[in-house]
Amino acid sequence: MRKSLKIGIILILLLIAGVASLLLYVRNHGFSAREKPSRMEELIARHARRIATPAGAKELKNPYPQTEASMAEAREHFVEHCSICHGIDGRGATTIGRNLYPKVPDMSDQQTQQLADGELFYIISNGIRFTGMPAWGDEDSPESIWALVAFIRRLPKLTPEEQKQLQEQAGAKSNKEESPAKATKPKTDPHGPGAKPHTH
C-alpha cells in the first residue's frame, strides 16, 4: 500500500514538473509555429497519426482494383486537393507544408508508408485533430479516397513519366485558377451608356 502511494506521489510530482517546464518554455520562447519542434513534439507528431486511427482501421483493405484510369484520376485529385500542402510529389516542400506546426509529413517517407492502407484511408477521411490535416470524408467518395491511398503508395517510386504528368497537371491547375480572374476583368464598352458616338 505504501509503495503504491509513493509511486503515485512521484508520478504527480513528475507531472507537475513537466507542466511547469512547458509553461516556462512557452513564456521564454513563445508559442510560434516558426519554432523547430522539440524531440518530444516530433515524437508525438509521428505517433499522432496512429493514435488518431482506431485499431480496426488497420484491417481495412482497398476494395477497388487499381487501374490506369483510377491512378490517373488519383493523380489529378492529388494535384487538385492535396498538393497545396503536400506538394505534387508528396514531400511537403510547399509554403504551407513548411510552415504548418507540426510540419506536413513526407508522404514518401517510411514513417508514412509503413501505415496500413486502412489507416491512410481513415486519416484522409477523418483528418487528425490539432494538425493541419482536414477530414475529406464528406467531400470525397470512398472510391476516390481509396484511389488516393493507392497513389500514395506510388509516391516513393514515381517514374519520370508520372512526375512529368503531375507537373503538367499542376501547371494546368495554375492556369485554370488564373483564367477566371482574367475573364472577370471589367471591359469598357465603347457603345455603352454615356459613350460619345464616333465621328469620321
Mean pLDDT of 57-80: 93
Taken in order of first residue, the domains within the chain and their CATH numbers are 32-176 (1.10.760.10)
| DSSP letters spanning the chain | -HHHHHHHHHHHHHHHHHHHHHHHHHHHH---TTSPPPHHHHHHHHHHHHHTS-GGGGG----S---HHHHHHHHHHIIIIIHHHH-TTSS--SHHHHHSSSPPP-TTSHHHHTS-HHHHHHHHHH--TTSS----TTTS-HHHHHHHHHHHHHGGG--HHHHHHHHHHHHHHHHHHHHHHHHTS----TTSTTPPPP--
Tell me the pLDDT band of 172, cut-offs 50, 70 and 90.
confident
* pLDDT value, residue 32: 59
- pLDDT surpasses 60 at 185: no
